[in-house]
A and B are shown apart, each in its own frame.
Chain A
């Protein structure tokens, strides 16, 4: 009996507690409502109420400096959600409400757009839209066509309509992604350990570098690096390296597999830091690499060159997109942020890291003439070249690898891509790892 009594009394106590909690909650909510009503009376306070944008992307252009600067200039708070390239795609498909702004690569669009989770961005609301480099809009640079094998941005740049899930081959008002950064990739080498000039992609699988080479562990990119090697050795010429047939995939993977079995590779890498560590520690002397990673190795006092090669570069490009559900104040803030991003400060910031900004004119206005001459015109540095954080990247007199912007972007051979035979390629890649 006492047992039961205690139980019931404790239950009653519990119920009382919860009722009281509920009451307290209601009171708090009422207070909040009243409070917010009070706030709406004062526009100035609203303006000071910061909008927070959840910015999904790879760590590449998520910099604390950019977030700080935009907070200063616009009062917008940027909340970075840093994930890997693969996870950006995954998040857009599976959790489109978990971000307000995404920085994704153009080659992913073939997978992303049909999902209907992104909305077209209106070119009319982008202030500097007309000044975006023709690399994106027309696929040309200084009036010359550049290589468009793979998923070149111009192929997936325009949407048929605001909410369309189809690309438009001709210009429309609706843009899939507003470009942020892009670059032309090539191999990174350790000149101090190789001790001879490297001029061709075929050196990646040259047995001379057995056990000292590396490629990316991102299948769709790794296989294209291999394709560059295959073409360089003259074994095969692809119609489109970024969209191989099953037979071509078999051929390319066989060459990669043979190299792996012969012990050509030291390791595969998946992110920026891994590639830096492999190179800086001397585990590898030749590998696929990103330009800022080479800069990072060099800033550690290790000789490393982002080596231009005669067959050209494999390029990539990223841009801002917004989820379909975004509207109202947050959407406006997103356009504000994008317009700010293209207005020069951020562009100059990215240029100084070795990437390229989408709007060159505004970026140039935010850079010192000597910086512009070094990074964009391929001229010898007149003064020491410094990173955004002030560390010296290059001494006066050095010339940027690959030369000027036009020489590099003009030398693009193919773009990062998603193939039509993607499934098959992934299966072959797993086979390659198991071999």
Chain B
């Protein structure tokens, strides 16, 4: 009896608590949904829906002035026209992707190298946190003006009669002005690195700041050289930052057509440029097919990067 009496209040307590919590859970769940709703809606409206539409339109047929909602694979056939039959000569699409890939790799390598060095300096060489923050902010100063302005401002610098060439000729370093400074692959890569280096610096710096300094001391105590510490401690611990920065840089370069257009003098192929030319002639379905393929390629690159680093785990 006594024990029963002892149990019953307890069990009723449990029951009560259970009731109370389930009563509270419903509004809490509703609140969670409400909190998620705005962003989910934004994503749905401005991300999922346009992509779905692009996908749908890429299978429609078209002529000069109208798009017909009928299923066809012609657009995809058009994108890859001659890609197999003309081998070993590359078709337009493969050539375009090759040119885009070339920029991706070179811009990625340069931003990674420079971004890593800058972050390393900020994270490990600068001792005072105040100076660290100040210098980090200095890195972001170029981002106070728009991308387009920062890009265009290179033109008077690099031109045939630009500041660089004038200086070089005045110093008698060159007799003739250097032509490849502007409207060339060099100009494109330079602008890209300048524009997107911060996307590399920020995540790598962030990763480095999370590294427990005692690990570095331990490495030194265990007899590791500076180089060994860097390769075996710092770089592996920076992997998530490197992966995030790489995703930023690679996806931007893959889709860009403005920078390649302006700095390359509109003569260099990029997937974005192809899509731009097609939409300007109202060939939306084939442009959509190109966009879908580009999206697939970008997703594959990101998938590959996340294979190398489990970002979720590392964060």
The chain A residues found within 8 Å of chain B, CB to CB, are 1, 3-4, 7, 86-87, 89-90, 93, 110-112, 114-115, 211, 217, 219, 260, 265-270, 277, 281-283, 418, 422-423, 426-427, 429-431, 433-435
Contacts and interface: CB of A to CB of B under 8 A. Distances in A.
Interface residues of B, number: 36
Contacts of A423: 281, 283
Contacts of B277: 219, 426, 429-430, 433
B92 A430 contact: yes
Contact of A265 (B78, B267, B273): B267
Nearest to B78: A427
A302 B34 CA distance: 63
Contacts of A1: 20, 23
Contacts of B155: 277
A422 B281 contact: yes
Contacts of B280: 86-87, 90
B101 interface: no
B130 interface: no
Contacts of A90: 279-280, 282
Contacts of A282: 159-161
Contact of B265 (A93, A111, A115, A268): A268
Nearest to B28: A3
A422 B92 contact: no
Contact of A7 (B27, B182, B273): B27
A269 B264 CA distance: 11
Contacts of A3: 24, 27
Contacts of B283: 423, 426
Given A112-B65, A282-B160, A427-B92, A267 B23 contact: no
B159 A269 contact: no
Given A3-B24, A265-B265, A431-B92, 9 more contacts: A111-B64, A112-B65, A115-B66, A267-B183, A268-B266, A270-B266, A422-B64, A430-B269, A434-B92
Contact of A283 (B159, B273, B279): B159
A270 B276 CA distance: 12
B69 to A, nearest CB: 15
Which 5 A-B pairs give the minimum distances between C-beta atoms? A267-B265, A86-B280, A434-B269, A268-B266, A434-B95
Contacts, number: 95
Contacts of B27: 3-4, 7
Nearest to B95: A434
B65 A93 contact: yes
A331 B269 CA distance: 44
B80 to A, nearest CB: 12
Nearest to B90: A434
Nearest to A113: B65
A356 B148 CA distance: 34
A89 B279 CA distance: 11
Nearest to B264: A267
Contact of B65 (A7, A114, A219): A114
24 contacts: A1-B20, A4-B23, A86-B279, A86-B280, A87-B280, A89-B282, A90-B279, A217-B266, A260-B267, A265-B267, A281-B159, A282-B159, A282-B161, A283-B159, A418-B64, A422-B64, A423-B281, A430-B96, A430-B277, A433-B274, A434-B92, A434-B95, A434-B96, A434-B269
Nearest to B263: A267
B185 interface: no
Interface in B104-143: none
Nearest to A212: B160
A114 B67 CA distance: 12
Contact of A4 (B24, B92, B160, B267): B24
B301 interface: no
A268 B267 contact: yes
Interface string B209-226: 000000000000000000
Given A4-B24, A434-B99, A111 B269 contact: no
Interface in B152-209: 155-156, 159-162, 179, 182-183
Nearest to B182: A283
B73 to A, nearest CB: 16
Contacts of A418: 64
A430 to B, nearest CB: 5
A116 to B, nearest CB: 9
B160 A281 contact: yes
Most buried by A among B81, B183, B266, B274: B266
Contacts of A7: 27
Contacts of B265: 265-268
Contact of A430 (B65, B159, B274): B274
B9 to A, nearest CB: 21
Contacts of A266: 183, 265
Interface in B1-55: 20, 23-24, 27
A7 B281 CA distance: 55
Interface centre among B24, B81, B265 (most CB of A within 10 A): B265
Contact of B267 (A93, A110, A114, A433): A433
B253 to A, nearest CB: 17
Contacts of B266: 217, 267-270, 433
B251 to A, nearest CB: 21
A355 B65 CA distance: 30
B161 A281 contact: yes
B268 interface: yes
Contacts of B267: 260, 265, 267-268, 433
A86 B284 CA distance: 13
B256 interface: no
Contacts of B279: 86, 90
A5 B277 CA distance: 60
Contacts of A110: 64
B272 to A, nearest CB: 11
Nearest to A425: B281
A302 B155 CA distance: 18
Contact of B282 (A93, A434, A435): A93
B225 to A, nearest CB: 48
B99 to A, nearest CB: 7
Nearest to B62: A423
A79 to B, nearest CB: 24
Interface string B59-86: 0000011100000000000100100000
Contacts of B92: 427, 430-431, 434
A383 to B, nearest CB: 34
B148 to A, nearest CB: 13
Quick one: which of A112, A260, A431 has the most chain B CB within 10 A? Answer: A431
